[in-house]
Chain A
Amino acid sequence: KAGVTQTPRYLIKTRGQQVTLSCSPISGHRSVSWYQQTPGQGLQFLFEYFSETQRNKGNFPGRFSGRQFSNSRSEMNVSTLELGDSALYLCASTPMGGRNTGELFFGEGSRLTVL
């Protein structure tokens, strides 16, 4: 069974640009969550999507947005990039067939560097 796939793995952008990151969950998984990981703050929750609807949202500015498609694939977008947006962006999926057990399956992440 293929794991969670995130693309691109690495990217470099400059301040003011925007970026789109992609996540393909494990086949059959319907919930996708996004996290930002930085050395100082650890793993910070961005948002969660289920059945193409945003179900949970963290405390990030509106520059951070996401969406989920009918095949459960998800994208997140960051507009007007700032230096502080440099981070590892992790996507995680869960089956969501029943109770949300909190058990997440993470991808390897997309490493974003903002210059």
Chain B
Amino acid sequence: GQQLNQSPQSMFIQEGEDVSMNCTSSSIFNTWLWYKQEPGEGPVLLIALYKAGELTSNGRLTAQFGITRKDSFLNISASIPSDVGIYFCAGQLAGANSKLTFGKGITLSVRP
């Protein structure tokens, strides 16, 4: 089945730094999404991307849908302590009602 690759498993950054994460796949996806999960909570949608090459921002977060449709990138600028959590990418194949495939997530830690 489809697999999404996220690495490294954990990232440690200093408050105020920018951080970039990427997600790659051997499959072509029609939709890319980024979710964040905080301890004790379910994942929350951050950004959804629907077109190859699309660049979308949500506050300090910016995500891009790769031109090849096999990857996506998430950038967090000027990190703050509340950015800690697990960041998941997810892809959806073409076709109505297609299920989502999730990456294994990157755990982000922000040092004050």
Contacts and interface: CB of A to CB of B under 8 A. Distances in A.
Q: Do A and B bind each other?
A: yes
Interface of A: 4, 33, 35, 41-45, 48, 50, 55-56, 58-59, 90, 92, 99-109
A2 B9 CA distance: 33
A113 B100 CA distance: 26
A11 to B, nearest CB: 16
Contact of B31 (A45, A59, A102): A102
Contacts of B103: 42
B65 interface: no
A102 B97 contact: no
B45 A56 contact: no
Contacts of A4: 42
B43 A100 contact: no
A113 B44 CA distance: 24
Contacts of A55: 97
A33 B90 CA distance: 14
Nearest to B91: A102
Given A55-B97, A104-B43, 11 more contacts: A42-B88, A44-B102, A48-B97, A48-B99, A56-B98, A90-B43, A92-B42, A99-B96, A100-B92, A104-B35, A108-B42
A4 B96 CA distance: 23
Nearest to B43: A106
B104 to A, nearest CB: 4
B41 to A, nearest CB: 6
A68 to B, nearest CB: 14
Contact of B43 (A41, A43, A44, A48): A43
Contacts of B90: 102
A102 B100 contact: yes
Given A45-B99, A58-B99, A92-B42, A103 B104 contact: no
Contacts of A45: 99-102
B112 interface: no
A103 B50 CA distance: 11
